[in-house]
Amino acid sequence: MSIPLPKEHGSWAMFAIPLGIGAVVAGVWRLELGLLLLAALGFFLMRYPLATLVKTRKRPSPARKELWRWAVVYAAVAAIPGLALVLVYRLWWLAPMGFFGAALVAYNLWLISRRQDMTLRGELPGIVGLAMGAPMAYYAARGVLNETALALWLINALYFGGTIFYVKLKVRQQPKLLPPSLPDRFRVAKASLTYHTAALTAVVALTVVGIVPPLVPVAFLPMLVKAWVGAWQWQDRKSLNLVRLGISEAVFSVTFAAIVIAAFLVSPPLA
């Protein structure tokens, strides 16, 4: 059996980019950050064999033992550096954050068992959990959990939450319908357009009160433009290309990360 690794390219981006943003914005590179990145990787990888075990629980197979072994290996990769960070380096806040992440994984596995993991209530908590990588990396690097760390969490959660609505529109809604008139296209995309507009509005509000730097809303503009263009350009079954869509999302995510990092490094929050 090959090494069980998550196959969704989007999940890798949602995992890596918040961690990268938190680490770069912190601007401090030390052993604690390296241990946190290792623990986060183990935790991220652990979910995949567990999810596969839940999905195949009614189909006994020799491969299940191998999946359990890998789940234990990944759990050890997460637990050993994680415990060191808490007990040796006394980064106490990582403990409740880790428990919160574990609770989200347990909730996701429960939804998988009920075949409800692809719903909004199944995907949005996962986004919140993955976005937590930003404040955790910042905390591990700096040793403090401050307003900047929490702002990074919120920014990442708001951004990647939008990908759920956009991908749902392009993959699960549009290909199932005949291309409607222009007004109807925007009605079909109502949820996506509403979310993206609300996310940008929320970030602008955070900027006004001085919680995030003035340049951060710029990072959300490409996402909003993408949402409106995606609503207008209809995606039928023949033109749907998941690889191309995944690459496009990755490019937008990297652009988002670059602008957010520049915003925090060049222009700090007003408060």
User: If you ran DSSP here, which 8-state letter would residue 38 be given?
Assistant: H
Question: CB–CB of 185/212 below 8 Å?
Answer: no
Percent of the chain at pLDDT > 90 equals: 68
pLDDT recorded at residue 149: 94
Confidence of residue 104 (pLDDT cuts 50, 70, 90): very high
Higher pLDDT, 2 or 40: 40
HSE, CB side, 13 Å, CA atoms: give it for residue 106: 6
pLDDT recorded at residue 30: 93
CA distance 82 to 32: 10
Question: CB–CB of 132/5 below 8 Å?
Answer: no
Provide DSSP, 204-263: HHHHHTTSS-TTHHHHHHHHHHHHHHHHHS---TTT--HHHHHHHHHHHHHHHHHHHHHH
Tens digit of each residue's pLDDT (9 = 90 or more) over 111-123: 988 888 778 888 8
pLDDT recorded at residue 9: 75
pLDDT recorded at residue 55: 87
Confidence of residue 266 (pLDDT cuts 50, 70, 90): confident
* pLDDT mean over 12-29: 94
Is the pLDDT at 210 greater than 80, yes or no? Answer: yes
Angular region, 260: left φ>0, alpha ψ -120 to 50, beta rest: alpha
Q: What is the dihedral of CA 260, 204, 100, 18, to 10 degrees?
A: -10
Is the pLDDT at 17 greater than 80, yes or no? Answer: yes
Residue (of 152, 47, 175, 183) closest to 103 by Cα position: 47
Q: How far is CA 86 from the centre of its chain?
A: 24
pLDDT recorded at residue 271: 46
Give burial (CB, 10 Å; 0-12/13-18/19+) of 102: middle
Tens digit of each residue's pLDDT (9 = 90 or more) over 43-81: 999 999 999 999 887 776 777 888 999 999 999 999 999
Tokens of 101: 């992440």
Percent of the chain at pLDDT > 70 equals: 97
